[in-house]
Structure 1
Amino acid sequence: MGVQPGLREVAAGLLQDERLLRACAARDMGAVFRLLNARGLSTRRIAAAVEIGQGRLYDYMNGKTRVEKLALFEQIADAFHIPGELLGLARRPWEPDATPEPPTSAQALSEADGDDLVTVDAFRRADRQAGGGRLYSAVVHHLSGKVAPRLVDVASSPQVFAAAAALTETAGWMAHDSGRDDLAARHFARALPLARAAGDLPLAAHVAASTSHLSLQAGDPVKAAHWAAVGIELARRGPRLPGLMARLNTMLARAMASSRQYGPAVQALDRAHAALAVGADDENPWLSPFDDATLAGESALALRDLGQSEQALRHGEQAVALREEGRTRSLTLSRIALARIHVDCGDLDAAVGVGTELLNTSPTLGSVRVVHQLDELGQLFRQYREYSPVRDYLARFDEACKARMLLLADIVSSSRGGSR
């Protein structure tokens, strides 16, 4: 392709930059191009290197559109010598052999375990930023091709089973985010025995919490409460992890609130807040983090179900304020919940204000769950369309939804065969 001198050297200097690693994990090529440009590469040279026009490059850099085609990802990787693994690609032909000398069995297991942790973290970070709709097939392919064969190796360490459990649970969340709750339930059901096989009680409890969440989304608060209780019992038998216990008690509170059991729900929420006040988890690398922003968002939902609108509003505002911009899906879901709570409180102007912020959500966020919740929010606003600010907002909202549906038509249509 005749790459000009200096391009690969500039990219190589960024390979240890956390910003580049985050952008690659999210497959956000616009951010990659901006970093290269900031390091002195002109947009003309970048566009020429990957054989696209400068206008198209500017669209990527300005977030107007995203790279979606596999061939272009490969072109970018090869032009700047970005390792294929960083972009979810196979090893590129120019990449050196990673194992020039055969390691000992102990070294091989240790290195594989370390790679598993990196992989789990990369998939989870990409999912939080870009949504699970376009990542689900990638994690399933990795599970079947890279992880499953090692489960039958007698030399495999328990960490291989932990990695399989964590990735299977992650696949479940991606399936849920894709609107395929039937697949999500099967993944969670498979993840639990894998976590038990690893001897990792906190990871097993973590999977139980995910199953509780899915049950609640399916409208079964009794099952949700059951799985939260199972997780709490598993967590109590393992090492003390405050964030995990906070998450489990939060799910129990959500289940109780959905059943209108005010006292048990508030007590469970109080336990969740008390647990997280002790500190965050850092002892188990296989668990997804549970932070103050997540607790605030879940508390808002529970209190809304209990009819405590003013308290729900306080927690909903806190969730939006705490949620970092890098967590696009979480921030979007928190804003949707906050807009609903403002409507509950009768403050339509505030609801429109939050709804306006939602219009800036990336239309390429690959989350069917977000699409469905935005649809529900639109239906809620339509009940008040006689109020002119709501009517004006709905015109913009509908245009944004049309654009989103055009960009996500493939993953939305594929989800219709599964449960919502």
Structure 2
Amino acid sequence: MYRLSPDPREVVAGLLGDERLIRACAERDMGAVFRMFNARGISTRRIAAAVDITQGRLYDYMNGKSRVEKLTLFEQIADAFHIPGHLLGLARRSWEPAPGTAEHQRADHPPPDGDDLVAMDHFRSADRQTGGGRLYGAVVRHLSDRVAPRLVDLGSGPQVFAAAAALTEMAGWMAHDSGHDHRAAQHFARALPLARTSGDMPLAAHVAASSSHLARETGDAAGAVGWARTGLDLAAQGPRIPALTARLHTMQARALAGAAQRTPAARALEAAHGDLDAAAAADHPWLSPFDAAAMAGEAALIMRDLEQYDQALTHAEQAVALREAGRARSLALSRITLVDIHVRRGDLDAAVHVGHDLLSTSPTLGSVRVVLQLDGLRRLLEPHRGYALVREYLARFDDARRARMLLLADLIPPHPGGTTA
């Protein structure tokens, strides 16, 4: 007997409590979502028709050959199958019930709670100097004990959701700095719908920029480009913050450079420089600053990936010069980049000179990310150990690394590469 294909929306309604669907949506893995639909009896033809794509394209998504990247397609999928917008990091869809908080409150944009901002500033200042490994637990506890209870209070305004989004995004960065990239992705995935619920589109775009950075660091160039584009779409909804769009264009350029897309990467970097030139000083309470030093550091990496080493050197030297002494992690990362570029240019004397400065970085800096990049730098220098200065430097490097690992034994396992997920 012929059986009709089940109603897709009924299927989705029955899956909304399934952790696998929630995780796939949070990771924006539409291929996994489509496979779940198909396993529940929805034909591939019906799935393709519902979101207006060919079956061939659908099979590419389901087989992992490509990923959904365009914001409009995510919106089509959400609307076709009634996937709640927050699961995909989207705004509340027109068919969803109105939230408990009054919509008129969002238009007013009440100022953020002072205690939340003070906590955010304290965490941010400490993180720059000590690294995320020593602060991650404190931020998570603050979220759980001080912020989360207010999210379920019907009297709370959108500023509470903004605080939750900003602190959750910060927890994501600290998880990334601690070497736990999978956990970082989960924090970013939670932060985006919180930012959208607050009505703060710049904050939502800021979270998308962080997701783009993480995707690039974990080798997902396509995802990095997609998140940067999503962020630019969100930022376009205003109010316009040039430093934010500069950061998003920079994330886009980094992803494109990593994929050897020279011309698009150069255009994106040019757009970033143009936006940063127009940027005013801190004009949003929740956004971490993206300044000339940050731009120089990212531009150095972009030019390095494009093998334009002379330009990369100029940017890397500028990044080191602009970093203040109180930014221990940023200064260490900038010096690592500078040594890397000197080696690629074949200037081993300069590489060793900067390398000695690098070893003066606080040995108690609780950043797995710095440790991993230091190890990568050692691997880059190893083929040149026949040169006496390099050989002597590597001996000092190894002594410094052993001392660092003893001091960070509570944070970093013996093989830090195994901490990434």
Q: Same fold (TM over 0.5)?
A: yes
Separation in 1 of the partners of 2:169 and 2:112? 19
State whether residues 413 and 419 of structure 2, in contact with CA within 8 Å, keep that contact through their aligned partners in structure 1: no
State whether residues 202 and 238 of structure 1, in contact with CA within 8 Å, keep that contact through their aligned partners in structure 2: yes
Instruction: Kindly indicate whether residue 392 of structure 2 is the aligned counterpart of residue 398 of structure 1.
Output: no
| Deviation at residue 240 of structure 1 after TM alignment | 1.2
Which residue in the other structure is 1:222 paired with?
222
1:21-40 aligned within 5 A:
none
Separation in 2 of the partners of 1:304 and 1:417? 27
Separation in 2 of the partners of 1:418 and 1:378? 19
Separation in 1 of the partners of 2:267 and 2:209? 18
TM-score (ref. length: structure 1) = 0.73
| Deviation at residue 169 of structure 1 after TM alignment | 0.2
| Deviation at residue 128 of structure 1 after TM alignment | 1.0
SS at match of 1:413: coil
Structure 1 runs (4+) greater than 4 angstroms displaced: 414-418
Instruction: Kindly indicate whether residue 325 of structure 2 is the aligned counterpart of residue 325 of structure 1.
Output: yes
State whether residues 241 and 281 of structure 1, in contact with CA within 8 Å, keep that contact through their aligned partners in structure 2: no
Separation in 2 of the partners of 1:211 and 1:405? 29
Which residue in the other structure is 1:120 paired with?
120
| Residues 6-27 of structure 1, C-alpha deviations (whole Å, 9 max, x = no match) | xxxxxxxxxxxxxxxxxxxxxx
Which residue in the other structure is 2:359 paired with?
359
Separation in 1 of the partners of 2:299 and 2:386? 32
Which residue in the other structure is 1:290 paired with?
290
Separation in 1 of the partners of 2:335 and 2:280? 24
| Deviation at residue 419 of structure 1 after TM alignment | 2.1
Instruction: Kindly indicate whether residue 146 of structure 2 is the aligned counterpart of residue 146 of structure 1.
Output: yes
SS at match of 2:410: helix
Separation in 1 of the partners of 2:151 and 2:353? 51
State whether residues 269 and 299 of structure 1, in contact with CA within 8 Å, keep that contact through their aligned partners in structure 2: yes
Separation in 1 of the partners of 2:164 and 2:191? 7
1:136–1:346 CA distance, 2 compared to 1 (3 A): same
SS at match of 2:240: coil
Give the partner amino acid of 2:384: Y
SS at match of 2:288: coil
Give the partner amino acid of 1:198: S
1:11-90 aligned within 5 A:
none
| Residues 50-103 of structure 1, C-alpha deviations (whole Å, 9 max, x = no match) | xxxxxxxxxxxxxxxxxxxxxxxxxxxxxxxxxxxxxxxxxxxxxxxxxxxxxx
| Deviation at residue 132 of structure 1 after TM alignment | 0.3
| Deviation at residue 305 of structure 1 after TM alignment | 0.5
1:245–1:221 CA distance, 2 compared to 1 (3 A): same
Separation in 2 of the partners of 1:408 and 1:267? 41
State whether residues 136 and 175 of structure 2, in contact with CA within 8 Å, keep that contact through their aligned partners in structure 1: yes
* Identity in percent: 65
Separation in 2 of the partners of 1:111 and 1:192? 20
How many pairs were matched up? Answer: 312
State whether residues 293 and 319 of structure 2, in contact with CA within 8 Å, keep that contact through their aligned partners in structure 1: yes
Separation in 2 of the partners of 1:328 and 1:241? 27
State whether residues 244 and 281 of structure 1, in contact with CA within 8 Å, keep that contact through their aligned partners in structure 2: no
| Deviation at residue 410 of structure 1 after TM alignment | 1.8
Separation in 2 of the partners of 1:111 and 1:146? 18
Which residue in the other structure is 2:420 paired with?
419
Which residue in the other structure is 2:381 paired with?
381
Separation in 2 of the partners of 1:112 and 1:276? 25
Give the partner amino acid of 2:355: G
1:112–1:334 CA distance, 2 compared to 1 (3 A): closer
Which residue in the other structure is 2:243 paired with?
243
State whether residues 158 and 199 of structure 1, in contact with CA within 8 Å, keep that contact through their aligned partners in structure 2: yes
SS at match of 1:247: helix
1:151-300 aligned within 5 A:
151-300=151-300
Q: Which runs of 5+ in 2 are unaligned?
A: 1-109
TM-score (ref. length: structure 2) = 0.72
Separation in 2 of the partners of 1:321 and 1:175? 28
Which residue in the other structure is 1:315 paired with?
315
SS at match of 1:133: helix
State whether residues 129 and 328 of structure 1, in contact with CA within 8 Å, keep that contact through their aligned partners in structure 2: yes
Q: Report the more deviating stretch, 170-179 or 116-125.
A: 116-125
Give the partner amino acid of 2:420: S
Which residue in the other structure is 1:28 paired with?
none
Which residue in the other structure is 1:372 paired with?
372
1:238–1:112 CA distance, 2 compared to 1 (3 A): closer
| Residues 252-290 of structure 1, C-alpha deviations (whole Å, 9 max, x = no match) | 000000000000000000010110001234321100000
State whether residues 242 and 281 of structure 1, in contact with CA within 8 Å, keep that contact through their aligned partners in structure 2: no
State whether residues 280 and 290 of structure 1, in contact with CA within 8 Å, keep that contact through their aligned partners in structure 2: no
State whether residues 111 and 159 of structure 2, in contact with CA within 8 Å, keep that contact through their aligned partners in structure 1: no
| Deviation at residue 359 of structure 1 after TM alignment | 1.2
SS at match of 1:289: coil
| Deviation at residue 368 of structure 1 after TM alignment | 0.3
1:417–1:345 CA distance, 2 compared to 1 (3 A): closer
Separation in 2 of the partners of 1:157 and 1:127? 28
Give the partner amino acid of 2:235: A
1:367–1:234 CA distance, 2 compared to 1 (3 A): same
| Deviation at residue 347 of structure 1 after TM alignment | 0.2
Q: Which runs of 5+ in 1 are unaligned?
A: 1-109
State the Cα RMSD in Å.
1.6
Give the partner amino acid of 2:350: A
State whether residues 246 and 276 of structure 1, in contact with CA within 8 Å, keep that contact through their aligned partners in structure 2: yes
